[in-house]
């Protein structure tokens, strides 16, 4: 059996499209893919484990690492930094393991600049405007303004679908998970990911 190089799978979507449920299910059923462990400057919360949930670092060293190209992608969210250590991902890919990224279009653009053929990107869309609104209207007391704000943010996020390789319209969680699994299965058979193929074919042709 040939070994293969791992791939980086990016799932993006506007909030309310179901990306988090799909990611969770995928991690459950596919042993060969994991979330990468991000570095963050936010404080460790009770129960979180260093090196498992996050790598906890202070802001000075985080910024230093940015300058050293330590991160494949990073973002600042509510005054805290989050980033993906490049080396950790490279190690997994070398071992033929896949890495899942649950990130937005900005993170995806950064990854693209650093990942080339290793990147496979999927954009998840909600099945309809009504359904998206229903999902974003999470609580009865949400004001019309709050929902309108979320819809505007979702609309902005959705404008970036053309930057993705695949598009899944999430009518049904189980079907969408199956679609992601099929994409993974196919991408794992891409010629350029197969390691040792040149030698394998050389042996087949050696008679």
In angstroms, the CA 195 to CA 31 distance is: 20
SS3 8: strand
Query: Hey, what's the torsion of the CAs at 96, 102, 104, 109, to 10 degrees?
Result: -10
* Binds its own copies by CB under 8 A, chosen from 45, 52, 139, 207: 207
Does 22 sit near its own copies (CB under 8 A)?
A: no
Q: Which helix (H) or strand (E) element contains residue 140?
A: none
- The distance of closest approach from Cβ of residue 122 to its own copies in the complex, given in angstroms and rounded to an integer, is 8
* Binds its own copies by CB under 8 A, chosen from 125, 144, 153, 196: 125
* Binds its own copies by CB under 8 A, chosen from 8, 72, 132, 177: 132
* Binds its own copies by CB under 8 A, chosen from 129, 134, 172, 195: 129
Name which of residues 75 to 114 contact its own copies (CB under 8 A): none
Q: Which tokens belong to 187?
A: 């991408």
For residues 27 and 102, the answer to whether their CB atoms sit within 8 Å is: no
**Sheet with 55-56: strands ordered across:** 55-56, 39-40, 80-85, 71-77
Residue 193 CA, chain-centre distance (Å), reads 19
Does 179 sit near its own copies (CB under 8 A)?
A: yes
- The distance of closest approach from Cβ of residue 129 to its own copies in the complex, given in angstroms and rounded to an integer, is 5
Residues that bind its own copies in the complex, under the rule CB under 8 A: 1-2, 123, 125-126, 128-129, 132-133, 148, 151, 154-155, 158-159, 161-162, 164-169, 171, 179, 182-183, 185-187, 189-191, 194, 197, 200-201, 203-207
């Amino acid at each position: 059996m040939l070994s293969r190089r791992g791939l980086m799978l990016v799932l993006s979507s506007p909030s309310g499209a179901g990306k988090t449920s799909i990611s969770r299910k995928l991690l459950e059923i596919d042993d060969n893919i994991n979330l990468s462990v991000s570095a963050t400057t936010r404080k460790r919360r009770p129960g979180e484990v260093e090196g498992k949930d996050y790598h906890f670092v202070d802001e000075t060293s985080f910024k230093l690492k940015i300058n050293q190209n330590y991160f494949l992608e990073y973002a600042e969210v509510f005054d805290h930094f989050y980033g993906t250590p490049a080396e950790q991902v490279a190690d997994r890919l070398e071992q033929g393991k896949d890495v899942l990224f649950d990130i937005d279009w900005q993170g995806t653009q950064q990854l693209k600049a650093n990942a080339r053929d290793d990147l496979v990107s999927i954009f998840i869309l909600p099945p309809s405007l009504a359904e998206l609104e229903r999902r974003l209207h999470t609580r009865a007391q949400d004001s019309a303004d709050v929902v309108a704000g979320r819809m505007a943010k979702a609309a902005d996020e959705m404008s970036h679908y053309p930057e993705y390789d695949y598009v899944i319209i999430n009518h049904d969680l189980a079907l969408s998970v199956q679609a992601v699994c099929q994409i993974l299965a196919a991408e794992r058979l891409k010629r350029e990911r197969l390691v040792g193929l040149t030698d394998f074919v050389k042996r087949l042709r050696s008679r």
